[in-house]
């Protein structure tokens, strides 16, 4: 899995450099795994604007301007919050592309009975946003790795205009 993450991060970096564009990340359940993989690539500083690890609702509200009412209505693990995280990261960083990930890594279900592996990914690029719902199998670490890989792959698809 780690090699796949590294390849996706390298591909995203190459696509961004070819376009002269910059990225920001807003991560919750992945705890910065996607940004860490991206910054492990030589030359990442030419394309990374900022990265946010907003694990708690307060951080999402303060750093990404996710409205507290949105968090209260939908919870952090939702499509509307993923979209707001991506848009907030894009605005805060002034980046061309913003990628966001929020979800339940586990080990147990949340207070609403939602099972581990439920993850929402979002991308904001050129005035458009996309949000995708996934349910990744596996333990906490595998869910986090799959989510990081998926958000990096989403970034590649968006920049390559394959979405």
What's the CA gap between 48 and 13, in Å, rounded?
9
**pLDDT tens-digit profile, the chain (163 residues):** 999 999 999 999 999 999 999 999 999 999 999 999 999 999 999 999 999 999 999 999 999 999 999 999 999 999 999 999 999 999 999 999 999 999 999 999 998 999 999 999 999 999 999 999 999 999 999 999 999 999 999 999 999 997 7
DSSP per-residue string spanning 6-48: HHHHHHHHHHHHHHT--EEEEESTTTTHHHHHHHTSTTGGGTE
What's the CA gap between 16 and 135, in Å, rounded?
28
CATH 3.90.950.20 fits 2-159, yes or no: yes
CA 149 to chain centre: 10
What's the CA gap between 49 and 24, in Å, rounded?
5
Q: CA 30 → CA 7, 138, 150, 160, distances in Å?
A: 18, 14, 11, 24
- Which residue, among 55, 56, 42, 51, has the nearest Cα to 9 in the 3D structure? 42
Per-domain residue ranges of the chain: 2-159
pTM over 0.95? The answer is yes
Q: Where does 57-106 have alpha helices with state H?
A: 57-64, 68-74, 79-93
């Amino acid at each position: 899995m780690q090699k796949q993450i590294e390849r996706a991060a390298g591909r995203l970096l190459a696509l961004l450099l070819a376009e002269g564009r910059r990225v920001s990340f807003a991560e919750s359940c992945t705890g910065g795994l996607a940004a860490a993989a991206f910054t492990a690539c030589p030359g990442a500083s030419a394309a990374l604007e900022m990265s946010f690890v907003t694990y708690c609702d307060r951080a999402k509200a303060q750093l990404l301007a996710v409205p507290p009412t949105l968090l209260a209505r939908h919870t952090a693990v939702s499509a509307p919050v993923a979209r707001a995280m991506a848009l907030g990261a894009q605005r805060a960083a002034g980046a061309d592309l913003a990628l966001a990930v929020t979800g339940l890594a586990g080990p147990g279900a949340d207070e609403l009975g939602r099972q581990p592996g439920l993850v929402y990914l979002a991308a904001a690029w050129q005035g458009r946003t996309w949000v995708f719902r996934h349910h990744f199998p596996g333990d906490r670490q595998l869910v986090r790795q799959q989510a990081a890989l998926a958000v990096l792959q989403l970034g590649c698809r968006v920049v390559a205009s394959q979405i």
